[in-house]
Amino acid sequence: MKDFDAIVIGAGNGGLTAAATLQRGGLKTLLLERHNIPGGCATSFVRGPYEFEVALHQLSGMGTPDKPFILRKLFADLGIMDKVDFVEEPELYRMIIPGIIDITLPASVVGVARTLKQYFPKESRAIDDFLELCKFVTLESIMVLPRARKAVDKEMLRHQGKNFAKYGLKPAQQVFDEFFDDEMIKAVLGAYWGYLGLPLRELSFADMGALFYAYAEFKPYHVIGGSQALSNALLDSFLEAGGEMRFNCAVDKILTESSAVRAVRTEQGDEITCHTIVSNASSLHTYNELLDVSNRVELVREDFKSRRLGVSAFVIYLGLDCTPEQLGVTAATNFIVLTPDDEAVFRRAETLDEPLGCGFTCYNVDDPSFAPEGKSIASLICIQYGDVWKNVAPDDYVNTKYAFAEKLLDLAETVFPNIRSYIEEVEIATPLTMMRYLNTPGGAIYGFDQNRLDSSLFRERYKEIDGLYLAGAWSGMGGFQPTYQAGVSVANSIIRTQIYRDKANV
Ligand SMILES: Cc1cc2nc3c(=O)[nH]c(=O)nc-3n(C[C@H](O)[C@H](O)[C@H](O)COP(=O)(O)OP(=O)(O)OC[C@H]3O[C@@H](n4cnc5c(N)ncnc54)[C@H](O)[C@@H]3O)c2cc1C
């Protein structure tokens, strides 16, 4: 008799939704987390009077009550919709290239079209055609692609998913170039590339077009209390269903027997047996450090060699002694770039040189309760690879961190000139901070790079160890919506396998 049906390693988004789904599906489940709070990236921390959101800028995938999308149903199934308050954001983003363009896109497809036509009247026809294409590629990738893949039926994709078949796997940049002449409109429509961690040339149009369309059609959301509130609610859903949780409890080893999982050993030395393990930790940590065998996973290791660690981030968390209005902030999400050339902006993520682009999220714009009255919380972020820190000597770390933070603040001051004078509390996170708190190699926040030729579409699930599953950014796409979905999807397939086995044994 095993101690648990399933053990989930890590209480990030994927771990939480996997654990809650497994337990609610009838499997006795234990959730083990090395940190002392749930959420992984989806957490908060307190400094002075401010509770800072670590990661979430805009939640995708909710949809409205009238037009619900994937996450609204997923959260309802896990019983947390009445425990968390979501705020629909009226704007997608404000994009500013100082001295060149300052444009705010509303969160609706019609509104986006109207605004873009005001700024780029010559591109009117192309704007309509492009948004229509985004819509069909998104719908076909959800409704046709999974069926065609399952049936291994190219003809089905060609006939029922012709937009996806023609454009889906092209580089996003190529499709933008095909539709538009004006470089500026491409920069404005492509501003979300940072959410995927790669420039348009490297992203598939399916990923970029669907991301943009999903935010515009199904709205971006803010969570009252930040993503920590969501993580807490998911943990409650798991515990209320009878799940067991241990914090400050890192898994040290996954123990196997005849190529099947048998148990985990915690850092404290406890051995806990189980039939199934879902790892929300990075795949590299899981297979290279946790697993007790190496001989059966050569193929997995080969697979790792062909991949590139994805980006991490450099973040300045700002507690500001002013309202958004006093600072001149008009939209919650802002992208400030010095050039429309996303490739040039991206290349800086591989250096500690002055950043050419950043995101600036001011949470109080859509949720005045996010900071004490008269104050605001903002997060200033640029993507950065963990590698750029590997040659910084430990003694130089603090100075290097503050020097880069000054450069990022200089960039923010091109749009919000008085920001430094309002800073009351500040905390800075580098890729090394992410590495320490998330236990991801290079502090990667989205898993591996997800370029158009190397997405989860082309990768099979690792099946070398019976009963070992991955759930989170490293087994598919990074980001909030994909990782919530990944946990549920893995858990449901485990439950289905279990039901099948039970029936076979009757
Ligand atoms: C600063 C920042 C900004 C971001 N902005 C956005 C955004 O705006 N939109 C968006 O969609 N995404 C954003 N992301 C990315 C998104 O947050 C992540 O891709 C996603 O949350 C990852 O979820 P995950 O399920 O893979 O697990 P993670 O969040 O990586 O959590 C993994 C968990 O496993 C635990 N763990 C690891 N090893 C062990 C072990 N041996 N034993 C026990 N526990 C272990 C870790 O402590 C952690 O809690 C951002 C991330 C960061 C850090």
Q: With helix as H, strand as E and coil as C, how does 49-83 read?
A: CEEEECCCCCECCCECCCCECHHHHHHHHCCCCCC
Cα of 52 vs centre of ligand 1, distance in Å, is: 16
329-348 residue pLDDT tens: 999 999 999 999 999 999 99
Residue keyed to tokens 């404000």:
94
SS3 readout for 343-371: HHHHHHHHCCCCCCEEEEEEHHHCCHHHC
Tokens found for residue 97: 């290239």
The pTM (predicted TM-score) of the whole model is 0.97
The answer, yes or no, to whether residue 458 has pLDDT greater than 90, is no
- DSSP string of 240-272? HTT-EEESS--EEEEEEETTEEEEEEETT--EE
Q: Is any ligand 1 atom within 6 A of the Cβ of residue 266?
A: no
Mean pLDDT of the chain: 95
- The tokens describing 109, both together, are 């497809």
Q: Identify residue 170 by its one-letter amino acid code.
A: K
Region 113-120 average pLDDT = 98
pLDDT-derived band at 506 (thresholds 50, 70, 90) equals: low
CA of 328 to the centre of ligand 1 (A): 31
The predicted structure's pLDDT at residue 293: 86
- With beta carbons less than 8 A apart as the criterion, state whether 408 and 357 touch: no
Single-letter amino acid code for the residue at 477: M
Structure tokens given for 196 = 């995927």
Q: Is the Cβ atom of 483 under 6 angstroms away from ligand 1?
A: yes
- CA distance linking residue 214 with residue 218, whole number of Å: 5
**β pairing state of 468-470 and 244-246:** unpaired
Kindly state the helix (H) or strand (E) to which residue 456 belongs, with its residue range.
none
Identify which of 8, 439, 449, 468 to mutate to test ligand 1's pocket (most ligand atoms within 8 A of the CB).
439
Q: How far is the CA of 327 from the centre of ligand 1 (A)?
A: 30
Alpha-carbon distance 412 to 419, whole Å? Answer: 8
For 210-247, give the DSSP string.
HHHHHHHHH--EEETTHHHHHHHHHHHHHHHTT-EEES
pLDDT in tens, 24-44: 999 999 999 999 999 999 999
Higher pLDDT residue, 276 or 298?
276
- Confirm or reject: Cβ of 222 under 6 Å from ligand 1: no
Helix (H) or strand (E) holding 388: none
CB neighbours of 11 closer than 8 A, spacing ≥ 6? 19, 31, 33, 35, 38, 39, 40, 231, 235, 245, 280
Q: Which ligand 1 atom sits closest to the C-alpha of 486?
A: 25
Torsion of CA 21, 24, 25, 30, to 10 degrees: 70
CA-nearest residue, atom 3 of ligand 1: 55
Domains of the chain: 4-82+225-307+450-505 (3.50.50.60), 101-218 (no CATH), 311-443 (3.90.660)
Looking at the predicted structure, is the pLDDT value of residue 5 above 80?
A: yes
Task: Using DSSP bridges, classify how beta strands 50-53 and 44-47 pair: parallel, antiparallel or unpaired.
Answer: antiparallel
pLDDT digits (tens, 9 = 90+) for 464-481: 899 999 999 999 899 999
Predicted confidence (pLDDT) at residue 497 exceeds the cutoff of 90: no
Residue 498: per-residue pLDDT: 80
CA of 474 to the centre of ligand 1 (A): 10
Average pLDDT over residues 286-301: 88
Ligand 1 midpoint to CA 10 (Å)? 9
What number does the ligand 1 atom closest to the CA of 14 have?
A: 25
DSSP-assigned letter for residue 286? I
